Structure 1
Amino acid sequence: MTTLEILLPYYGDVALMQAAVRSVLAQSDPDWRLTVVDDGREPGVPEWFAELGDPRVRYFRNERNLGVTGNYRKCLGMAEHEYLVFMGTDDIMLPEYVATVRSILAQYPGVAMIQPGVEVIDGSGKPSSSLADEAKRRIYAPRQQGRVLMGGEDLAVSLLKGNWLYFPSICWRTDAVRTTGFRDNLEIIQDLALVIDLLQAGEQMVVDDVRVFQYRRHTVSISSKSAFSGTRFTEARRYFLDAADRLDAHGWPKAAKASRMHLSARIHALTLVPGAMRAGQWDGAKTLLRNATSTASRPR
């Protein structure tokens, strides 16, 4: 069975990155390779990797900052194995992650995407639960136990109503991601766009309920920084409306309707309005309201 390629496009907190790397080193299944591509200039990082002494770990530092999408593309270009993971720089792989993913691949050979079970943690590593995560779990995620193979318009509709995936935990078939690629004009919603493109190409996803990954949700993430400004929702609305046109042309009218409505994204924007007002971000509050109340028209 193939070695699992773990890609870590790194930028930000050194201690959290080191915790992420240590969680990979602690995997019960040793058949993995970790490639870290450093898009920053934090001191001492190259030396820390040099001291690890594990031949399965590769470390590279970019000569210039490539940004989020640029660094993901570089990581993708360096992948040499059949399956890969774009791990978050502040997330944690529980010890059975690699073993679980490889067992799913043995059961479903050739599948393009695997979403294992995920536990959400806060900045200090403690279990956490936000309104968004509770909505994912209770409202939008499929009601299933064990492992389920999903795909087609039904899965697209489910995700466009409310994206219940956790991108850094997903295992991808490398050639499928390379064929589809990342979009130039997206950052926050790049993950959903990739999944929908793969579904339109006829690919499928295995969803498993065994929790083997910890997704860290805290206020210093890119998505959180842009929340009160409303920019993340402007990007999302642009994507949803463009996707709706493409889904209509693809012959998936239910998915197109769900994309035009993008109900969960609009509700989320609405819940942030009071916080933006308390923070004195009045322009952000107006942007959030505009994104929460508009569906069919495109942003100006």
Structure 2
Amino acid sequence: MSVVDIMLPFYGDPALLRRAVESVRAQRCTDWRMTVVDDGYPDPSIGPWFAGLGDERIRYRRNPARLGAQSNNRWCLEAVELEYFVMMGADDLMLPGYLDRVLALHDRYPSAAVVQPGVEVIDGEDRVVRTLADSVKRLLSPGRGVRELGGEALAASLLHGNWLYNPSLCWRSSALKTIAVPESTDVFDLALPLEVVSAGGTILVDDEVCFRYRRYRTSDSGSAAISGDRFAEEARFFRSAETAMVARGWPRAAKAARLHFSSRLNAACRLPGAVLRRDTAALRLLAGHLAG
């Protein structure tokens, strides 16, 4: 009987999607069900490929009209039914022991709402990379080994700099029942964990690598960051988060939201590129975000 819903929202490279699906099919643990939600990517070969798999554990849905990334993510969240779920990126890869590891950790730590396993970062050609962003994430992640984190200290840590790799997270589905999932959010991969932590949930962090996260400049988030658009979204998010942390009585977390250190650092790193491109619109956005 399946215990894990693997939700795969998709709009991107069909070849990488197929590889992501095959990495799930290669799991040593077989207690999973996958739902691929195609947000209308213009490639007629995708549906027939899934039909040809003949794998009853895999469900393929093509949205009748494009929803956009955030709304497609929300649809996937609302479709979760099993005890655990993963919102996997359609270009990421599970190593064969991923589900074995995260489910074993959930068993050992029944109070944990989320498991963050060890992650290896790869580029568009599957080469292991260590970018500045990932180096900062590693520095910001509290402690080493298996550790269960929660409360204001965790909220403040994530607001200083989001060191989670959202597509690798394995969630306890019941954690979503304790919160009101945000109606809309600009920074989906931080807003949802923050809601769970604010409601008393904990995150179990592990260093054993069992997931490969793909990072490359042509991703949606990378393109938005280059143009500066993402920073306007992040500024709105952090203002809202500061208000929420004040209301909760978490002053350290509220201060972290107000400072949003790693977000400003990211903007600073993008400034030289905007100068070289003579992109005045991006320069205004980046400089404004950096100044707060």
Q: Say yes or no: TM over 0.5.
A: yes
Three-state SS of the structure 1 residue aligned to 2:106 is: helix
Q: CA deviation at 1:180?
A: 3.4
Bigger shift: 228-237 or 258-267?
Answer: 228-237
Distance in 2 between the 1:15 and 1:252 partners? 45
Answering whether residue 182 of structure 2 is matched by residue 183 of structure 1, we say yes
SS of match in other structure, 2:112 = coil
Shift of 1:178: 5.2
- Tell me, yes or no, if the aligned pair for 1:69 and 1:182 is still in contact at 8 Å: no
What CA distance in whole angstroms lies between the structure 2 residues aligned with 1:228 and 1:220? 10
Letter in 1 for 2:128: P
How many pairs are equivalent?
Answer: 291
| Contact map agreement 1:110 1:173 (CA 8 A) in 2 | no
Q: For the Cα contact (< 8 Å) 2:116–2:168, is it kept in 1? A: yes
Query: Structure 1, residues 174-194: CA drift from partner, whole Å, max 9, x if none?
Result: 23235535534424x111111
1:166 corresponds to: 165
Identity of aligned residues (%): 46
Q: Is the 8 A contact 1:39 1:61 kept in 2?
A: yes
CA distance in 2: counterparts of 1:255 and 1:181, whole angstroms: 20
Q: CA deviation at 1:111?
A: 2.2
Relative to 1, partners in 2 of residues 1:60 and 1:181: Cα closer, same or farther, differing over 3 Å?
A: farther
1:245-256 equivalent positions in 2, closer than 5 A = 245-256=243-254
Structure 1 residues 15-39: Cα deviation after superposition (integer angstroms, max 9, x where no partner): 0100100000000111111110111
Cα displacement (A) at 1:2: 6.3
Structure-2-length-normalised TM-score: 0.96
**Deviations along 1:175-234, whole A, 9 cap, x unmatched?**
3235535534424x1111111111111111110111100000011211111112211111
Alpha-carbon displacement from aligned partner over 1:63-93 (angstroms, at most 9, x marks no partner): 1111112111221222220110000010000
Within a 5 Å distance, the mapping from 1:7-86 to structure 2 comes to 7-40=7-40, 41-86=42-87
- What secondary structure, in the 3-state scheme, does the structure 1 residue paired with 2:226 have? coil
Letter of the structure 2 residue corresponding to residue 105 of structure 1: H
Q: Is the 8 A contact 1:181 1:194 kept in 2?
A: no
CA contact (8 A) 1:228 1:273 kept: no
Moved more, 71-80 or 128-137: 71-80
Matching residue of 1:123: 124
2:232 maps to which residue? 234
Q: Gapped runs of 5+ residues in structure 1? A: 295-300
2: CA distance, partners of 1:11 / 1:95: 24
**C-alpha offsets along residues 19-64 of structure 1, whole Å, 9 cap, x if unaligned?**
1000000001111111101112321101000111111111111111
Q: State the shift of 1:156 in Å.
A: 0.8
Question: Measured at CA, do residues 94 and 42 of structure 1 come closer, stay the same or move farther in structure 2, by a change above 3 Å?
Answer: same
Give the whole-Å Cα distance in 1 for the aligned partners of 2:279 and 2:15: 31
Q: CA deviation at 1:11?
A: 0.8
Residues 152-187 of structure 1, C-alpha deviation per residue, up to 9 Å, x if partnerless? 001111111111000000111223235535534424
Distance 1:185 1:33 in 2: 27
Identify unmatched segments of 5+ residues in structure 2. Answer: none
TM-score, with length taken from structure 1 = 0.93
What per-residue deviation string (whole Å, max 9, x for no partner) do you get for residues 83-137 of structure 1? 1000001000000000001101110124211100000000011101111111111
1-structure distance, mates of 2:120, 2:236:
30
Does the Cα contact within 8 Å between 1:85 and 1:172 map onto a contact in 2?
Answer: yes
For the pair 1:193 / 2:191, whether they are aligned, the reply is: yes
Please say if residues 2 and 33 of structure 2, whose CA atoms lie closer than 8 Å, have aligned partners that are also in contact: no
Give the conservation status (yes or no) of the 8 Å contact 1:269–1:288. Answer: yes
Q: Distance in 2 between matches of 1:168 and 1:16?
A: 15
**SS of the counterpart of 1:227?**
helix
Distance between the aligned counterparts of 2:278 and 2:177, measured in 1? 43
- Give 1:213's match in structure 2, choosing from 196, 211, 214: 211
Q: Is the 8 A contact 2:155 2:197 kept in 1?
A: yes
1:78 to 1:143, Cα distance in 2 relative to 1, 3 A? same
* Corresponding residue for residue 282 of structure 2: 284
- Flag the 1:126–1:106 CA change in 2: closer, same or farther, 3 A: same
- Runs of 4+ in structure 1 displaced over 3 angstroms? 178-185
What code does the residue aligned with 2:16 have?
A: L
Partners of 2:92 and 2:105 lie apart in 1 by 21
Counterpart of 1:285 in 2: which secondary structure? helix
Q: How well do the aligned residues superpose, as a CA RMSD in angstroms?
A: 1.4
